[in-house]
Amino acid sequence: MKLSEKILPDFKDTSSVDVPSGLMDQIIGQDHAVEIVRLAALQRRLLLIAGEPGTGKSLLGQAVAEIMTADHLVDVLAYENSENRNLPVIRIVPAGGASAILEKERERSKFSLLSELYLINFSSAALIACGLFYFIRDSDYMWIAGSAFSVYLLWKLRKWLLGRVKNQVPKILAGHSDSSSAPFVDATGSQEGALLGDVRHDPFQSGGMETPPHMLLEAGAVHRAHGGVLYIDELSMLSHESQQSLLTAIQTKVMPVTGRSPGSSGTMIRSFPIPCDFLLILAGNMEDIEKLHPALRSRIKGYGYEVYTKTSMPVNEENTARMIQFIAQEINRDGKIPHFSYEAVNEILAQAVLRSDNPDSYTLRLRELGGLIRISGDIAVKEGQSPVSAWHVRSALKYARSIEEQKDEERYIRE
């Protein structure tokens, strides 16, 4: 199938096609979704995006973070609580400030430790020398025993000092070295601990070898997304318990880190509340929406937007230019394949029409189309040719077949 030259612009290859730098401008065929998403980013509203795989849901989420202002970012540090070891203290500082504080605390602790260790080492050497001197003079082994016991006590003190320094140094739970853009955290498929924060298990719980509780804290995706976007795809993988916790985080905008693994040494540890004010974007297929917690769905309806991504768009001059832009974008994003010739682009556009199941529409399941573009480019690279030709695209069709199609072909040959 060849598209009409009336709607196909004249160009030599895709190297001359302009590709916008902003992610929002790279989204193809989802004008209604882009309009809603821009509003959500401006007002920091909740978003529920539903649509078929490959229609641009994750790209929409990333684009939100790109256009959001980064004026709510902070760094989070955890300190030991001298009054209650199992309740670490949380300190919030402006974004980018945690690293300087940590370095300052390390230097201060190191200087203090070196002075104390020098005194202990000097005292130990003096005790050993005195013990040997009086042993030689009096031939009494009690001097050796007393000296050895005193040195033992000093080295126990040395071990305690090393542990104290380790306790005094804070831990960065969330830091932002670059505060120019809002964070985008993809928590798709995350378990409860990774999503909400957890406390690592400490196999050494006594004897001076144990890790300080504040060092065991691990921030969750909800904390790392503070001031930015928390994106969760595949709603069917998100348990109802996690959805309820997400609802709590959205409502209170703070959440402590606590141990979530039964039987772990961290189950008794619970931090002070940590900020988690983020823009939540949930995405999934239409059948996944049924598995969304009713209270969370109601929250989104009341405080956000629901968006459906389209699966096709009409064939016309404007949309053809967008599809050509998409081809150029995929080539640039991949970075390993040559540009496409005019004829190769025409072949890709023909496939976009064929895959829409409508002779007057382009498919917007663009991930699969992107796969065909990459395979075509790989064949051209193998042949040592540039730009990619129409023959390369046609050759790529047999490599782009699904497993089911390959299996059906084998069955047909056998029969």
Please spell the DSSP secondary structure of 220-264, one letter per residue: -HHHHTTTSEEEE--GGGS-HHHHHHHHHHHHHSEE--B--STT-
Mean pLDDT is lowest, of 57-66, 165-174, 194-203, 358-367, for 165-174
Whether the CB-CB separation of 316 and 7 falls below 8 Å is answered with yes
Mean pLDDT is lowest, of 35-44, 158-167, 247-256, 358-367, for 158-167
Give residue 12's pLDDT band: very low, low, confident or very high (50, 70, 90).
Answer: confident
Give residue 259's pLDDT band: very low, low, confident or very high (50, 70, 90).
Answer: confident
Is pTM beyond 0.75? Reply is yes
Give residue 170's pLDDT band: very low, low, confident or very high (50, 70, 90).
Answer: confident
Higher pLDDT: 260 or 30? It is: 30
pLDDT at residue 349, rounded to an integer: 94
| pLDDT at position 283 over 70 | yes
| pLDDT at position 328 over 60 | yes
Which residue type occupies 149?
F
pLDDT at residue 325, rounded to an integer: 94
According to DSSP, the residues that pair with 74 across neighbouring strands are 94
